[in-house]
A = this chain, B = another copy of it.
Amino acid sequence: MKNPEHRVQLTKRRLRDALMTLLADKPLRSITVKELCQIANLNRGTFYAHYADVYDLMNQIEAEMKAGFFAALEPMLSAAGQLTPPKVTKKVFECIEANADLCRVTIGPYGDKEFARRLLRESKSDIIQSYRLCFPNADEWQINAYYTFVSGGCFALMERWIREGMVESPETLANAAERIMECGVAFLQ
């Protein structure tokens, strides 16, 4: 066959697109398998051949997004060599801009905020470790508290940025985040 995409992949893509369409004006909880298949022009039985329910579909899509996001992020990180906490921020914001379409859905009004949080949680240990090296005098509790606060802050900033249409450049956002993390309220002076 000429087409490199197998039938299964095409089916999954159609379901994925249908879900994204519906997710634009409905919360996940009120999306049914039936309407999903109607939009995707698929038999309902075919859905159950691949997914257990709508939430399973969503989970698998998120898993793909996560993989894609990390795949896009990693070369940036490894290229930067040693990851110094403030430098990473810019890369992350750039990566979000590059994957804007994916991020918009998960952050959007009907998106699953938990997804992004889970994503943050996975890179936690790496970042914490780098804090330990940079600040050997700080105790574990402080490091954890700082990480929690700062990642929560970055996430909130990112969320607002995406929600309001990514008007500013990723650099602007990254700089703001870095400066707040670095100097606190002095950011306002």
Q: Which residues of A are at the interface with B, using a C-beta cutoff of 8 A? A: 29, 55, 113-114, 131, 134-135, 137-138, 142-146, 148-157, 159-160, 176-177, 180-189
A63–B187 alpha-carbon span in the complex (Å): 35
Residues of B within 8 A of A186 (CB): 183-184
Report the minimum CB–CB distance from A125 to chain B (whole Å): 15
Chain B residues closer than 8 Å to A155, beta-carbon distance? 152, 156
Q: Tell me the nearest residue of chain B to A55, going by C-beta.
A: B29
Q: List 28 A-B residue pairs with CB atoms under 8 Å apart, sorted by A's residue number.
A: A134-B188, A135-B188, A135-B189, A137-B188, A137-B189, A138-B188, A138-B189, A142-B176, A142-B188, A144-B160, A146-B188, A148-B156, A149-B153, A149-B176, A149-B180, A150-B153, A152-B152, A152-B154, A152-B156, A152-B157, A153-B153, A153-B156, A155-B156, A180-B184, A182-B184, A182-B185, A183-B183, A183-B184
The 6 residue pairs across chains A and B that have the minimum distance between CB atoms: A152-B156, A153-B153, A149-B153, A184-B184, A138-B188, A135-B188
Report the minimum CB–CB distance from A181 to chain B (whole Å): 6
Closest to A134 in B: B188
Complex formed: what's the CA distance from A155 to B153 in Å? Answer: 9
Question: Is the pair A148, B157 in contact by a Cβ cutoff of 8 Å?
Answer: yes
Contacts of A185 in B (CB 8 A): 135, 146, 181-183
Partner of A181, one of B114, B131, B182, B184: B184
A187/B157 in contact, CB under 8 A? no
Complex Cα spacing A157 to B146, Å:
9
Partner of A143, one of B131, B143, B149, B188: B188
Give A154 to B185 CA distance when docked, in angstroms.
Answer: 14
Interchain CA distance A150-B179 in the complex, whole Å: 12
Contacts of A149 in B (CB 8 A): 153-154, 156-157, 176-177, 180
